[in-house]
Amino acid sequence: MENTIEVRKISTKTYIFMAVIAILGIIIFYMAEQGKSAKAEKILVELGYKNTNNVKVYSVTQFENIDTKIQGYKYFVSFTDASTNKQCKGFIAKDFKQNVNKDIVCE
């Protein structure tokens, strides 16, 4: 009694398809990260941090002010202020009425 299991090989088209999907995923991830960093840099310029380097956005959350019912986005960021050469971290927020807030600590 022989148990022979026949295994089908994966075609070359499938490998190419998987590689294309992986490359597209990496490109989309990179573009999303750059978009978040660009939006955070615009908010930092509005707050007075005109010369920043290494802006990293850790997360973006949507918030709503309970009193005024105004919604917006809060960015948790880390960056280097090149004018004072300090490492800063904290959050910045911008609502849909274009108001900006910050809670940033520089060391």
Q: What are phi and psi of 5, to 5 degrees?
A: -105, 125
Q: Which residues of the chain have pLDDT under 50?
A: none
Report d(CA 95, CA 93) in Å as an integer: 7
**Number of other residues whose CB lies within 10 A of the CB of residue 16:** 10
CB atoms within 10 A of CB 92: 23
pLDDT at residue number 1: 60
